[in-house]
Amino acid sequence: MAVGTMAIFPVFEAVAQQEVDYTLHAKFLYHFTKYIEWPEDRRAGNFVVGIAGNEDLYTFMNTIAQKKKIKGQNLIVLKIKNTDDPSSCHMLFVARGRNSALPGFVLKIGNRAVLVITEKAGSLRQGSDINFVINNNNLNFELNSTGATGKRMAVSSELRNLATRNE
């Protein structure tokens, strides 16, 4: 809070760390689907988004799911545990605190068309397709379009241009 002079330790916390608003991540996840084409066999049934380790984002995506469809498919949001197999997802978000599980998820996904999204530096090299980065208070993203293409997903050139880095 702004000025709790007595509440000294909350003040320190506010200075030391800024609170990230995951509604913006949720909006990005929704908009990413407009720039990526999933293979034919994934265009029927539900559009499944898996969230590993972020309750806020899970809640926000569920709110979106109540209002929106993705390319005509019903949006389903699942919580993903470290031991789960996320292969049935179209998108998988791995929170910073769960990044240690990323290699395991990538291994289980293999070459299935699952767009892996992370928020920790260096994640592209561990198999992430899109990695969120924060620049000057803004949420940007890095892209590994080669990896996504290798999983039979088509990434639009517009999205490639918007990425701060494209591997």
Partner 1 sequence: MNKLYKLIFFLLILGIGSAEAQIDTNEFNDLDEIDIYSLLKESVFKKVVVRFEESPGNLTEISKDEFMNRGARDLMDVLRMAPGFEFAQNINGQIGIGYQGMWAQQNKITILIDNVAMNDGLQGGFAIAQRIPLGMIEKIQIIKGAGSIQFLGANTMSTINIITRSGNTMEGARITLFNGSYDSTFARRGVSLVMGDNIAKNKYWSFIGSYNNGKITNVAKINNTPWESQCNLLDIFAFAKLKLNKWDFKYLLNNYNSQAAIRQSTVKSLIQNLQISNEFKIKKTDLTILPTLNVSQQLPMNWIMPNPWVTDTNNMMQTKAQARLMLRHSFEDNKIKSLSYFGIDYNWEQNTILYHKTKLDPYSSTSFYAQNVFQKNLSRIYINRLLVKTGIKADMFASQKVTISPKVGVEYYYKNFQINAFAGRYGMNPNNYGNYLVPNLKQEQIQTAQFRVNYILKSNCNVAANLFVNKASNMISFMQNKYYTDTFVNITTAGSKGIELEFNWKLFDGMYLKSYYTYFQKANKDSNQYSIEQGNSGLLGFASHKLYASLQYNLASNYWVNINGQYYSKITGIRSGIRTEQNPLLMLDLTLKYASPKSPIEVQTGIYNILNNNFKYFQAYSNMNNTSGINNPVPGGGREFFIKVIFKLRFYDNDHQSYNYSNPIIF
Question: What is the spatial distance between Cα 39 and Cα 60, in angstroms, rounded to a whole number?
Answer: 26
Cα of first residue to Cα of last residue in the chain, in angstroms, is: 40
Q: How far is the CB of 36 from partner 1 (least distance, A)?
A: 12
Q: Which is nearer to partner 1, 75 or 80 (CB)?
A: 75
Q: How far is the CB of 16 from partner 1 (least distance, A)?
A: 5
Q: Which is nearer to partner 1, 10 or 150 (CB)?
A: 10
Q: Which is nearer to partner 1, 5 or 83 (CB)?
A: 5
Q: How far is the CB of 32 from partner 1 (least distance, A)?
A: 8
95 within 8 A of 52, measured Cβ to Cβ: yes
What is the distance of C-alpha 119 from the center of its chain? 7
Residue appearing with tokens 């809070």: 1
Residue numbers at the binding site for partner 1 (CB under 8 A): 1-9, 11-12, 14-16, 18-21, 23-24, 26-28, 30-32, 34-35, 60, 63-64, 67-68, 134, 137-140, 159, 162
Q: How far is the CB of 82 from partner 1 (least distance, A)?
A: 22
Residue appearing with tokens 């599980």: 101
Residue appearing with tokens 């292969």: 87
Q: Which is nearer to partner 1, 29 or 102 (CB)?
A: 29
Task: Provide φ and ψ at 163, rounded to 5°.
Answer: -70, 145
